[in-house]
């Protein structure tokens, strides 16, 4: 898409299991590495929660997931955050700050360049494991417990650290949160509400609690692997990490001599009551969305070479 109103990605940053940055992630993909591992004891004692029986009350049949390295390490001084406040921050806030730093660096964008700008921040999330663990001992709570556990601060802290004056939103639409965040960011750019957008998604796994209802619902894979489009499909594997992209309208990116990774087109829909139960995806709505994306962006479906789908 060469239209100057197209949305361009001008910087990327990420942290995923087995990869602390984009270069390591690319090498991981090239090597075909699998970093789904047995749940490490430093997260929790999974033996106390594991049972292969999917109907065992208070238990989960999931033994494996994808975890970040050094999840508890954070250079808070880099972001002007004092030690006491850093101790009370949801790891998701930390991951986002770190990946935003990487994405800005990748795009050759300095703090001075964006301070006071109409840059928007749109971050997708869906879990808040830290909030539960932070409430274990009420006597340890401080004023920083408010900002440290609030989902709204996942995005707002980026705006605060970098002095960004555009819209700032933490968006939860379950599994589609990051994609919806990018779509909202794209619309903000097209409408002129944001001159640049920082957006992406984040997840942190700190507790076995969510694994238990996922096991009851048979949504989680007992093998800890995704087998998409396979007769062996038995649910999805959980993982933590963060991915951030910086976006501008293509015309502005070219004018500012930004590095351009790619241009993207977005769209969104909702299933309504076209599938049952509420957690089931609607095939007809997915088909309608694909037609809508192809048509509105003048894309011939026969030209599509790769499709990435929800791994379930």
Which helix (H) or strand (E) is 262 found in, with range?
strand 262-264
On whether both 164 and 217 belong to a single domain, the answer is yes
Query: How many other CB atoms sit within 10 Å of the CB of residue 143?
Result: 10
Residue 300 within a domain: yes
pTM, full prediction? 0.94
Say if CB 123 and CB 96 are below 8 A apart.
yes
Q: What is the pLDDT of residue 132?
A: 80
Does residue 312 have a pLDDT over 60? no
Residue 2 within a domain: no
Q: What is the pLDDT of residue 294?
A: 92
Return the CATH number at 63: 3.40.47.10
290 in helix, strand or coil?
helix
Q: What are the residues whose beta carbons fall under 8 Å from the beta carbon of 63, sequence distance 6 or more?
A: 38, 39, 46, 50, 222, 224
On whether both 80 and 94 belong to a single domain, the answer is yes
From CA 204, how far away is CA 16, in angstroms rounded? 11
On whether both 146 and 278 belong to a single domain, the answer is no
**Which two tokens mark 177?**
């949160």
Q: What is the pLDDT of residue 24?
A: 97
Provide the domain limits for residue 281.
Answer: 267-312
Predicted confidence (pLDDT) per residue in 200-237, tens digit:
999 999 999 999 999 999 999 998 888 888 888 899 99
Say if CB 94 and CB 158 are below 8 A apart.
no
Please choose, from the candidates 249, 246, 222, the residue with its C-alpha nearest in 3D space to the C-alpha of residue 233: 222
On whether both 207 and 275 belong to a single domain, the answer is no
Contacts of 34-41 spanning 24+ positions with Cβ under 8 A: 34/225, 35/66, 36/64, 36/65, 36/66, 36/224, 36/225, 36/237, 36/239, 37/64, 37/65, 37/66, 37/67, 38/63, 38/64, 39/63, 39/64, 39/65, 39/67, 39/208, 40/67
Query: How many other CB atoms sit within 10 Å of the CB of residue 73?
Result: 9
Query: How many other CB atoms sit within 10 Å of the CB of residue 14?
Result: 24
Q: What is the pLDDT of residue 306?
A: 86
Q: What is the pLDDT of residue 131?
A: 87
Predicted confidence (pLDDT) per residue in 66-99, tens digit:
999 999 999 999 999 999 999 999 999 999 999 9
On whether both 130 and 190 belong to a single domain, the answer is yes
On whether both 249 and 295 belong to a single domain, the answer is no
Please choose, from the candidates 130, 102, 127, the residue with its C-alpha nearest in 3D space to the C-alpha of residue 210: 127
Predicted confidence (pLDDT) per residue in 263-309, tens digit:
999 988 889 999 999 988 898 998 999 999 999 888 999 999 988 77
Predicted confidence (pLDDT) per residue in 111-157, tens digit:
999 999 999 999 999 999 998 877 777 778 888 999 999 999 999 99
Q: What is the pLDDT of residue 311?
A: 57
Where would I find the H helices in 9-143?
A: 22-31, 83-86, 91-106, 111-114, 129-134
Predicted confidence (pLDDT) per residue in 17-75, tens digit:
999 999 999 999 999 999 999 999 999 999 999 999 999 999 999 999 999 999 999 99
Count how many domains the chain has: 2
Q: What is the pLDDT of residue 269?
A: 87
Predicted confidence (pLDDT) per residue in 171-191, tens digit:
999 999 999 999 999 999 999
From CA 209, how far away is CA 133, in angstroms rounded? 11
Where does a domain end: 265, 289, 304?
265
């Amino acid at each position: 898409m060469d239209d100057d109103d197209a949305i361009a990605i001008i910087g990327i940053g990420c942290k995923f299991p087995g990869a602390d940055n984009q270069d390591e992630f690319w090498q991981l993909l090239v090597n075909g590495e699998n970093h789904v591992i047995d749940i490490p004891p430093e997260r929790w004692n999974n033996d106390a929660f594991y049972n292969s029986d999917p109907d065992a009350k208070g238990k989960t049949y999931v033994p494996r997931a994808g975890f970040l390295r050094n999840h508890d390490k954070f250079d808070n001084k880099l972001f002007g955050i004092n030690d006491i406040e850093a101790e009370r921050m949801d790891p998701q806030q930390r991951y986002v700050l770190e990946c935003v730093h990487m994405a800005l660096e990748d795009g050759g964008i300095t703090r001075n360049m964006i301070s006071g700008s109409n840059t928007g921040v749109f971050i997708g999330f869906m879990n808040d494991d830290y909030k539960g663990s932070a409430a274990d001992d009420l006597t340890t709570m401080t004023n920083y417990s408010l900002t440290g556990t609030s989902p709204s601060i996942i995005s707002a802290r980026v705006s605060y650290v970098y002095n960004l004056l555009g819209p700032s939103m933490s968006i939860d639409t379950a599994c589609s949160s990051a994609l919806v965040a990018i779509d909202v960011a794209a619309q903000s750019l097209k409408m002129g509400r944001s001159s640049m957008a920082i957006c992406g998604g984040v997840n942190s796994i700190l507790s076995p609690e969510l694994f238990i209802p996922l096991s009851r619902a048979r949504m989680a894979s007992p093998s800890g692997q995704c087998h998409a489009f396979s007769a062996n499909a038995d649910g999805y594997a959980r993982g933590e990490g963060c991915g951030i992209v910086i976006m501008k309208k293509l015309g502005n990116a070219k004018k500012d001599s930004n590095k351009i990774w790619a241009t993207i087109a977005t769209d969104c829909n909702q299933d309504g009551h076209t599938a049952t139960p509420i957690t089931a995806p609607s095939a007809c709505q997915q088909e309608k969305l694909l037609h809508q994306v192809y048509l509105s962006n003048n894309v011939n479906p026969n030209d599509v070479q790769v499709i990435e789908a929800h791994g379930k």
